[in-house]
Amino acid sequence: MPDKDPDIRIAIFHSIRLLGVWTAVLYGVVALALVAGLIFANSQRNDLRDVQDETVTALCTFRDDLQRRYDDGIKFLVNHPEGIPGISAADIQRSLENQRATLKSLAELPCPATDSTDVLGQTRVRQPRSRFIDAVNRERGCGDLRSTGKYLTRSARRHSRQMAHQDRLFHSTLRVGHWSKVGEVVGVGPHWQSIFVALMDSREHRRILRDCQYDFIAVGIVSAGGRVWLTGRLYAR
């Protein structure tokens, strides 16, 4: 029997094909949304880690300063067991007990190794990042490298964290952007000093660190598994 409604079948066919196209488009949109969501979530996690790192660093600085005050208080009490006019020995003892309790609560902080340097009568805590930059500048025969802003420092720290997570050294894909030149060194070791020595023993890495065209440096250091992971990025204007 001849088909009485060929136009209907053709219309149904085109409708099904069009539906397939729109379904594919919908799946594509959903996939892009999921990828964008994952990228955003990863970015948020990285930002949260940066905030956590900065919070820990601030607490570690506070703990070191409080430890020095506590040590000074103990010495003061030993030299003035009866107290001084206006401040009794009991008041000093109560203050020391409060400081000791605070130090005990901060004892488990994962603080990086620090170095205290007395400058004009004031004690200044030098973090490994700053000490690494100082060591590099001592090796350069030209102007000192200056530390970049927080954004580039965080980016370098994120790369160090990624290397620690993957337990391997690798370079990142650097974008020159408005900089005229960008370089990178990476390393892992028991502490930043050993990484610095290894970098200076490498002719290629030594050439990068001593390149007088670079003006700025971003250093990211993280500790994981008893090892220190370091990323140093140099920038030329």
pLDDT for the residue 130: 87
| Percent of the chain with pLDDT strictly greater than 70 | 68
Instruction: Write down which residue in 111, 135, 159 finishes a domain.
Output: 111
Q: Which domain, by its residues, includes 157?
A: 126-236
3 state SS of 9: helix
Residue 133 and residue 99 share a domain: no
Rounded average pLDDT over 139-151: 86
The mean pLDDT value for 62-69 works out to: 76
Q: Got the DSSP string for 81-138? A: TTEETTEEHHHHHHHHHHHHHHHHHTTT--PPP-EEEEETTEEEEEPHHHHHHHHHHH
Nearest C-alpha neighbor of 109 from the set 61, 154, 158, 157: 61
- 103 and 13 in one domain? yes
| DSSP label of 228 | E
Residue with more model confidence, 122 or 179 = 179
pLDDT digits (tens, 9 = 90+) for 171-227: 988 777 788 999 999 999 988 888 999 999 999 999 999 999 999 999 999 988 788
With 70 as the cut, is the pLDDT of residue 137 above it?
A: yes
Last residue of one domain, picked from the residues 87, 111, 135: 111
Residues 12 and 100 in one domain: yes
| Domain count across the chain | 2
Does 116 map to a domain?
A: no
d(Cα 122, Cα 124) in Å, to the nearest integer? Answer: 6
What's the chain's length in residues?
237
Write down the pTM of the prediction.
Answer: 0.51
pLDDT at 213: 93
DSSP state of 155: H
